[in-house]
Amino acid sequence: NQTEVFKCVQKLKFKLNNLVTVAAGYQFFDHGAVLVLGGVDKQLYLYHYDINSDVLTFKKKITGHQDAIRDIQFWKDEKDFLFCTAAQDRTIRIWKLHDNKTTGIKEEKSTESAEITEEGITGNTQEKKLYLFEVEDQEFTVTLDSLLSGHQEAVSSARWGMLPNGDDDKPELCLLSSAFDFSIMLWQPEKDTGIWVNTVTLGEMSGNKHSFYGAQFIDDNKEILAYTYNGVLHRWANVEGRWDPKHSISGHFKSVNDFAWDTTGTYLISTSQDQTTRIYCEWKDKQTWYEVSRPQVHGYDINALAYLPYPQEKAEGNSVNGYIVCGADEKILRVFESPFYFEETVKNLTGIELKNAAVFEGGSDQITEIRQEGSSQALGLMNKAKRTQKAVPTGGSDNEEGGDAEEEKKEDGFEPKFEGKEPPFEGFLLRRSLWPEKNKLYGHGYEIIAVACSHDGKFIASSCKSQSAEHSTILIWDAIKLTLITKLQAHNLTVVDLKFSQDSTWLLS
């Protein structure tokens, strides 16, 4: 109703002004509802809301969690009234509300409970304490129904849903949880015992992990959507009981500083204050653009980039993929060359064939396929080139030169060659799509602001932040030898942009 006006009916004040989670229940009584609050003080506060008087009345304080409570969610059906609480103590607790008239349950004063330690859960996992409260001459009790433990880090969210349980296609109650250990878990009660168990685990179990800040069901519980701090949405779809990863939205999560097209207009390169450089191209089959590579994940803000075409005189009429030149706050220009998988992926997605520069220069008559990719260095800013060779079958044994492809797979934990039949998922983009560095160019004294490359692939121009004529020079580099040619002095302050003319004979600053 567009004419409805919302107003504050009551304010709640707590001794600790740090309640970070609030959840409200469904309508529970004839004239009211249940409200449960929780936060960093580890307590749950249960209130009753009277619809007629617009008054919240405190009913009970519930204890159990041993760290901050991150999420509270309710579920009500014909059989049960449940709510779950997810906390930083790595557990999820499922609580049940009982009507004492029908159950005859009475409050018990036992304080025996489970304790979460470094070794896991100790003590009695089925807590005996019951919490009694009254509403309009009716007695109700809150009891702990289940304690779920499986995540290795703080649980960030929990959501109720309905999914088939086992071979039975009939949907039954389930719980979806996410955690800071970069995992997603699905929980359902066993049919025979009613004990809640983990049935599906999604996410990353090892390697370069982030944290899931939340997850939920979408598309009528047919899909799961989870998000992490770097702006990526992870998506899985239920395909005949199997949860398969699906493509989702990705991109920068801070201001975009610069972008450039390759000379063929096949793919777009962008860089951002999120300290990453990303590449996008169109998937012709879907008529949608996807991120296909993340050439640089840096430790400084990247301010400028340019596409450096492969030199025309060296290409000899072939369509050879070029390089990326980036400048950041670190005062260095970095030149990147594409890994072998990139051209294969672009060809499969767009239908446009580009030759890899390293393979083109190495010759086409070699009997080995080069797999080249960038590898970020620990505590470093450089993408080190990593090259491996896998022998093309020539009738010999698997142990001939090039090594056994299966052994390489075991060492890396990934297939030796990325087929690129569809856009890569976030796991590949994060770990395997870096471009190896071809060279670094030193010469500027302050943060690099602008970079430009000539269309014939012979020259690179760059400028840096400046407050004097001395540092406002434009540096011209030989793009083939990667050496400094000259310095142009004309401006008195920072040169903010550079562009070469189409015939590469003029430079505009």
Distance CA(385)–CA(391), nearest Å, equals 20
Identify the three-state secondary structure at position 103. Answer: helix
| Residue 72, pLDDT score | 92
pLDDT of residue 310: 93
Nearest to 358 by CA among 325, 324, 320: 320
Instruction: Return the pLDDT at 383.
Output: 67
Note whether 35 and 50 are within 8 A (CB): no
Predicted pLDDT of residue 360: 85
Which among 155, 144, 243 is positioned nearest to 199, based on CA atoms?
243
Give every CB contact of residue 466 below 8 A, 6+ residues apart in sequence: 446, 472, 491, 493, 494, 495
What does each C-alpha distance from 104 to 23, 140, 141, 316 come to in angstroms? 28, 10, 10, 89
Which residues are CB-contacts of 167 (< 8 A; sequence separation ≥ 6)?
Answer: none
**Phi, psi of 33, rounded to the nearest 5 degrees:** -145, 170
367-390: string of b/e by CB count within 10 Å (b at 16+)? eeeebbbbebeeeebebebeebbb
Are the C-beta atoms of residues 73 and 23 closer than 8 Å to each other?
yes
Burial class for 287, CB neighbours closer than 10 Å (0-12, 13-18, 19+): exposed
Positions of the chain with pLDDT lower than 50, given as ranges: 108-127, 364-371, 378-379, 388-418
Q: Is the dihedral of CA 486, 492, 495, 500 positive or negative?
A: negative
CA 174 to each of CA 91, 127, 189, 227, 299: distance values in angstroms, whole numbers, following the listed order:
16, 22, 8, 20, 41
**In the block, residue with structure tokens 């159990």:** 64
pLDDT at 362: 76
Q: How far apart are alpha carbons 268 and 279 in whole angstroms?
A: 6
